[in-house]
Amino acid sequence: MSPGIAVTDDGPISSNAHQGEPLARNDDSPGDTQPVGDETLTIDDELISRARIHARQVEIDVEWERLEWAVSSRAKRRAGACRWNREREVATIVLSRRAYRAYDWETFAEVVRHELVHAWEFQHFGESGHGERFRRMASRLEAPRHCPSFTEPRYRLRCQNQGCEWEASRHRASKPVTTPERYRCGSCGADYEVEHTDSGRTWSCSSGYGGVKAALGDRW
């Protein structure tokens, strides 16, 4: 097998990752919990933990002691929201469990950064919208000005090794989608194929991607 980059739900990682490190989170595994020692880590705990860690890496002047986190199990269209308590002067970022399960981490991290901009505006200005001030900060943080409505992923990546059950989802035509020959399965390192979920058409190389896109035309 030619060298490549392993693809995980956190995005591409180098193929020389340390052995024993988790390479992909399979949201299709049974149940919502993962045993960790004597405790149980729920999907909500995982979501909040990853969001908090990512938020701390973002260069934005947010007062963390005045920021709280919550998970919504009901949201079906909105991936995230930010609420402001004027009396307490505390912002609460609410993230969708469904979106976390469906989105790849790159997309979900953009949602986290989008809501962080709202929290920053609330803390510094007492209000937040999607105006020019928001746009400038969101652009600096590479966050979308408007979060996409929650939808099923447009693409699914599946390992071609019959003994491996790895798969990942993508909402955009990122490089692992358009040039899959340059990347590898995030679990076993084998080749993978990409499926266009609406049509069921698949490809495993850049020319295949171009062919499917051309063949589907307006249905793409």
Task: Express each pLDDT in 55-82 by its tens digit.
Answer: 999 999 999 999 999 999 887 678 999 9
Domain containing 169 equals 152-219
Shared domain for 78 and 132, answered yes or no, is yes
- The three-class DSSP label of residue 82 is strand
CA angle 19, 22, 23 (to 5 degrees): 90
pLDDT for res 5: 63
pLDDT for res 201: 95
What is the rounded average pLDDT of the residues 39-55?
87
| Beta-carbon contacts of residue 161 (< 8 Å; ≥ 6 apart) | 185, 188, 190, 191
What whole-number distance in Å separates Cα of residue 162 and Cα of residue 160?
Answer: 6
pLDDT band at 213 (very low <50, low <70, confident <90, very high): very high
Burial class (CB within 10 angstroms; exposed 0-12, middle 13-18, buried 19+) of 36: exposed
pLDDT digit string (tens) for 151-184? 677 899 999 999 999 988 888 899 999 999 999 9
In a domain, 49, yes or no: yes
In a domain, 204, yes or no: yes
pLDDT band at 17 (very low <50, low <70, confident <90, very high): very low
pLDDT for res 36: 38
What is the rounded average pLDDT of the residues 100-121?
94
What is the rounded average pLDDT of the residues 75-100?
92
Among residues 140, 174, 205, the one where a domain terminates is 140
In a domain, 42, yes or no: yes
In a domain, 156, yes or no: yes
Shared domain for 126 and 159, answered yes or no, is no
Mean pLDDT computed over every residue of the chain: 83
Q: Which two tokens stand for residue 152?
A: 């099923």
- Total-model pTM: 0.55
pLDDT > 70? residue 25? no
pLDDT for res 91: 98
Closest residue by Cα to residue 13 from 3, 28, 23: 23
CATH of the domain at 48: 3.30.2010
Ramachandran region, residue 89 (left: φ > 0; alpha: ψ -120 to 50; beta: rest): left
In a domain, 11, yes or no: no
In a domain, 13, yes or no: no
pLDDT > 90? residue 135? yes
What is the rounded average pLDDT of the residues 14-42?
36
Domain count, the chain: 2
Shared domain for 156 and 136, answered yes or no, is no
pLDDT > 50? residue 2? no
In a domain, 27, yes or no: no
Taking a C-beta distance cutoff of 8 angstroms, is the pair 68, 92 a contact? Answer: yes
Taking a C-beta distance cutoff of 8 angstroms, is the pair 6, 21 a contact? Answer: no
Shared domain for 126 and 95, answered yes or no, is yes
Q: Which two tokens stand for residue 105?
A: 């981490």
pLDDT for res 41: 62
Beta bridge partners of 85: 90
Shared domain for 96 and 166, answered yes or no, is no
What is the rounded average pLDDT of the residues 179-200?
94
Among residues 114, 140, 166, the one where a domain terminates is 140
pLDDT > 50? residue 87? yes
Mean pLDDT is highest, among 20-34, 37-51, 56-70, 97-111, for: 56-70
pLDDT > 80? residue 205? yes
Shared domain for 129 and 156, answered yes or no, is no
Q: Give the position of tokens 């709280």.
A: 68
Shared domain for 128 and 53, answered yes or no, is yes
In a domain, 60, yes or no: yes
